Amino acid sequence: MDYMQESIKRLREAREAALQGGGADRIARLHERGKLTARERIDRLLDPGSFVEFGMMAGLMAKAPGDGVVTGQGAIDGRTVCVYSQDSTVLGGSVGYLHGMKLYRTVERALDMGVPLVGLNDSPGRRVEKVGEGGAPPIPENPKSGSAVLYPLTQASGVIPQISAVLGSCAGLAAYGPALTDFIFMVEGISQMFITGPRVIKSVTGEDVTFEDLGGARVHCEISGVSDFRMASEEECFRTIRKLLSFLPSNHLEEPPVLETGDSAERLDDILESIVPADGRKSYDMHRVIEVLADNGDFLEVKADFAPELIVGFARLNGRPVGFVANQPMVRSGALTVDSSDKQARFIRFCDAFSIPLVLLIDTPAYFPGVEQEHMGIIRHGAKVLYALCEAVVPRIAILMRKCYGGGNLGMGLVAALGTDFVFAWPIAELGTMGAEQSVELIYADEIKKAANPEEFRAQKVREFREKMASPIADASYGGRIEDVIEPRETRQRLIRALDLMRGKRRRGYPKRHGNMPL
């Protein structure tokens, strides 16, 4: 055998060793726990045969294939993405020198090439190792390895979409990395995130807590709001990541992808009148409204389990992606809260960063009152929404469906001065500082008491107030905030036409380094 053939043989053996990761026994134990390997995850996420690996030989001489992470490029629905997948069968997937350097390079490449980054995370965090072992150099920290990966993740924010799937117990550095990205997916039963694990908590505070109760999918999707999607399986996770990317451009300089959906831009939806009760005290499911408006009823909700009094997510109108922000009357009557404000502000800023127009569906009694909300900082959190709305330059259309009072006018962008381009209202809509009944009680309290028939007098004044002060027709006739009053059935049609008009919208802000958002 000549030297060339011998070298090729050694290369093939090295590749095969790299493909085996931590070996058959560790892979089998992983499968027994219902988990996929790092490479199986990549295969299920990407288009078949599209994956090209970076740094396959890393760690082989130290018998740590890949140094615990598989990195490379591939395609999702034909579009290039960069991807990394941490391998828990090799050194537990911990982040050492080579591991961190591979992560850093992958993020850099995604940023340099303007393509989305998808991270499949399964790591206990930074590796504890002696200098000179496990490939570590005789220096404390390489500028492009380990925790330094947080730097390019931050630089990539708002430039390329960044998606993280947490597919194991991720602690410390392995939790902060995903937290810097745009969207986090977690899978029931296998995903956990925390800064300090149960053992450390037990030693310091004496509290006994399981991995799931500390940082499982339910905790971070319902309570903390750290995660955006809770999935039943890894397969569902990968399908949903692919769907999410279908709404997003590859980078901030591109327009979101347009698809032919086959749904008419001119259709009218009489069913909306039966979905939404005219009585503002009755609830309904806003999801049904969004599904009627969206192309083919297709809506991908973000943070569905967190602050459910507000709905955010992606859909298409005439094939073009839009971001919906909508009050949910079924939860707290659609009132705005500390948590919903965080959810709303972050979603608005993401859409604005990637040129995705916003549709606001408004039906709210305003901010949820109470000592707890005030002490939790509703002023500070609500200010995040105002900042996001005023900062956003993408086309934005508000539909006042039923009611909006007080601070809700600010928090839902109903005030045109906050930058909302069009405000349309349904004829049943009511707007003002407070509801008609409350306003009448405040203004006519003495007259009501003195009236011969107080109930009849009150009802008459409520009717007059609605027609002359709180009516959208009155507001539009006085040149107020309402651009036009529309029938519910016309909503989709008017949204699409307004978005077509504003497709080339451009607005420049004042030159500055950056603002100081009330975080």
Structurally, how many domains does the chain consist of?
A: 2
pLDDT at 133 over 60: no
pLDDT at 371 over 90: yes
Q: Do 212 and 284 belong to one domain?
A: no
Q: Do 280 and 389 belong to one domain?
A: yes
Residue 205: how many CB atoms within 10 A of its CB? 10
Q: Is residue 253 part of a domain?
A: no
Q: How confident is the model at residue 1 (pLDDT cuts 50, 70, 90)?
A: low
Neighbour-count burial of 208, counting CB atoms closer than 10 A to its CB (0-12 exposed, 13-18 middle, 19+ buried): exposed
Q: Do 198 and 327 belong to one domain?
A: no
What's the pLDDT at 132?
Answer: 52
What's the pLDDT at 431?
Answer: 83
Q: Is residue 324 part of a domain?
A: yes
Q: How confident is the model at residue 510 (pLDDT cuts 50, 70, 90)?
A: confident
What confidence tens digit (pLDDT) does each residue in 418-474 have? 899 999 999 998 887 766 677 766 676 667 776 777 777 676 767 766 666 667 777
Q: Do 215 and 279 belong to one domain?
A: no
Q: Do 149 and 221 belong to one domain?
A: yes
Q: How confident is the model at residue 355 (pLDDT cuts 50, 70, 90)?
A: very high
pLDDT at 140 over 60: no
Q: Is residue 251 part of a domain?
A: no
What confidence tens digit (pLDDT) does each residue in 176-213 have? 999 999 999 999 999 999 998 888 898 899 899 999 99
CB 358 within 8 A of CB 317: no
Lowest mean pLDDT among 32-36, 241-245, 492-496: 32-36
Helices (H), 92-171: 97-113, 150-156
Q: Do 342 and 406 belong to one domain?
A: yes
Give pTM, 2 decimals: 0.92
What does the alpha-carbon distance between residue 116 and residue 473 come to, in Å, rounded to a whole number? Answer: 46
Q: Do 158 and 277 belong to one domain?
A: no
CATH of the domain at 95: 3.90.226.10
CA 202 to chain centre: 33
Mean pLDDT within 486-496: 97
CB 49 within 8 A of CB 73: no
pLDDT at 374 over 50: yes
Q: Do 240 and 326 belong to one domain?
A: no
Q: How confident is the model at residue 362 (pLDDT cuts 50, 70, 90)?
A: very high
Q: How confident is the model at residue 128 (pLDDT cuts 50, 70, 90)?
A: confident
What's the pLDDT at 325?
Answer: 98
Q: Do 231 and 284 belong to one domain?
A: no
Residue 54, helix vs strand vs coil? strand
Mean pLDDT within 45-69: 92
What does the alpha-carbon distance between residue 38 and residue 44 come to, in Å, rounded to a whole number? Answer: 10
What's the pLDDT at 339?
Answer: 97
Mean pLDDT within 399-420: 89
pLDDT at 246 over 70: yes
Q: Is residue 463 part of a domain?
A: no
Half-sphere exposure in the Cβ direction for 412 (13 Å, CA): 38
| Residues of the domain holding 359 | 272-434+472-501
What's the pLDDT at 440?
Answer: 64
How far is CA 353 from each of CA 79, 157, 250, 356, 359, rounded to the nearest angstrom? 20, 9, 12, 8, 16
What's the pLDDT at 139?
Answer: 47
Q: Is residue 32 part of a domain?
A: yes
Q: Do 307 and 222 belong to one domain?
A: no
Q: Is residue 497 part of a domain?
A: yes
pLDDT at 138 over 60: no
What confidence tens digit (pLDDT) does each residue in 315-337 have? 999 999 999 999 999 999 999 99
